[in-house]
Structure 1
């Protein structure tokens, strides 16, 4: 689908994976306001159509790029989480939190938003730890247990089934919370745009925040569109 100004928000959401995240970033209502055209939405929010189009296409391409992963078995997908997604996000978060604290200490008196951002980062850090712990310590063992059965559909117990479903429900809840926090951070940071007078640390913080946002949402899309559907297929 080629994105044009005349497209409605609802049309784009239905065709372009991840566009909901971009609309949320700019506070564009894609639910009740889905009948609005992209041109009208851009005018209302003070952004250019080309900026919106490029970000939607970029996000969609990242997600579509994971479509080839659907051909992989669950074992290799779980290994990706352990060796790629988790270490990368964990490392990025541990680097950015001290920077956020530094910027908040230095600039917080004149820019209250950086203090709020630091506190939100601490909150999302706890939630990310819980989300990964749930995936690694609940979802993966549940998958391994079911895969070890000779005939999963015939031999699976109610307890094993509930363990898998419970882990998936926690993932869904965690994703909603984390996405909401990043939405608040994006709003507070004017979509990761530092003030003109900002120092290098201030600017680097906002750049790092945007990169972390993209990494986390990339992982959440991987979970939502690849890992979880593949996991649920073993009990279908």
Structure 2
């Protein structure tokens, strides 16, 4: 039986296109140079094959999406959003930009929509980076102060933006803008479906776009449908007390 390290890079990517993202991260060519074994590729890239194997084996670990987020304290939920979803965007944005530029450079002359997709990818990455900083530096710290005031019986902290509703409305509008950009990308890419015979880099790019959109949907759901309404209600409750 062939071990994972004995399989070729190309075979692993063919079996699971998400493996391309791991190879890309470690500088391993999975497209034109993917005909060598993972062990050999690790030797060339000077990385530990056991470490790479562990990452590959963890690709299909099913994450528990049935958590009862609605029962979580708001300060804990903000930390979860930052640690899981903000971190995901920060870690995957550079890879997405590299894919967009590479695929457009190589295939854009034939598939003209790739130029538009690259522009839109740059736009959504920039907008999300700015958006997340506003949440991390302004909105989320204030929500944590509201939680602390409720827990300790203190007053609502003084803020320059009047009420928590104002930054929330801004964040919701920015969520809609980011979602619209990804809807445009989905339309241009035929719902992230690469053309027949597309190379592994092309396929990996569209797979990563699909994954990126799915993460954003979960990210926005936690904020728009759970965190924000509860923060608004908490502020109103504290004002009445």
- How does the TM-score come out when normalised to structure 1? 0.67
What's the CA shift string for 1:84-138, capped at 9, x where partnerless? 1111222122211101100011111111111111110000011111221121111
Equivalence for 1:209: 209
Tell me the CA shift for residue 146 of structure 1.
2.9
The equivalences for 1:58-137 within 5 A come to 65=66, 68-137=68-137
Counterpart-to-counterpart distance in 1, 2:93 and 2:214: 12
Q: Greater relative contact order: 1 or 2 (C-alpha under 8 angstroms, separation 6 or more)? A: 2
Check 1:161–1:120 CA distance in 2 against 1; reply closer, same or farther (3 A cut). Answer: closer
Contact 2:146-2:157 within 8 A present in 1 as well: no
Equivalence for 2:27: none
Counterpart-to-counterpart distance in 1, 2:215 and 2:201: 21
Tell me the CA shift for residue 208 of structure 1.
0.9
Tell me how many residue pairs correspond in the alignment.
172
Counterpart-to-counterpart distance in 2, 1:222 and 1:211: 17
Counterpart-to-counterpart distance in 2, 1:71 and 1:85: 19
Counterpart-to-counterpart distance in 2, 1:70 and 1:138: 23
What's the CA shift string for 1:171-206, capped at 9, x where partnerless? 111111011000100000011111113211111111
Tell me the CA shift for residue 82 of structure 1.
2.2
Contact 1:131-1:170 within 8 A present in 2 as well: no
Q: CA RMSD in A?
A: 2.3
What's the CA shift string for 1:23-67, capped at 9, x where partnerless? xxxxxxxxxxxxxxxxxxxxxxxxxxxxxxxxxxxxxxx9x835x
Tell me the CA shift for residue 159 of structure 1.
3.9
Counterpart-to-counterpart distance in 2, 1:136 and 1:158: 18
The equivalences for 1:1-236 within 5 A come to 65=66, 68-149=68-149, 150-151=152-153, 155-156=155-156, 159=159, 162-236=162-236
Counterpart-to-counterpart distance in 2, 1:86 and 1:78: 10
Q: Secondary structure at the match of 1:136?
A: helix
The answer to which structure has the higher helix fraction is: 1
Q: Secondary structure at the match of 1:162?
A: coil
Gaps of 5+ in 2: 1-62, 237-241
Counterpart-to-counterpart distance in 1, 2:112 and 2:208: 19
Counterpart-to-counterpart distance in 2, 1:146 and 1:160: 15
- How does the TM-score come out when normalised to structure 2? 0.65
Gaps of 5+ in 1: 1-61
Contact 2:194-2:202 within 8 A present in 1 as well: yes
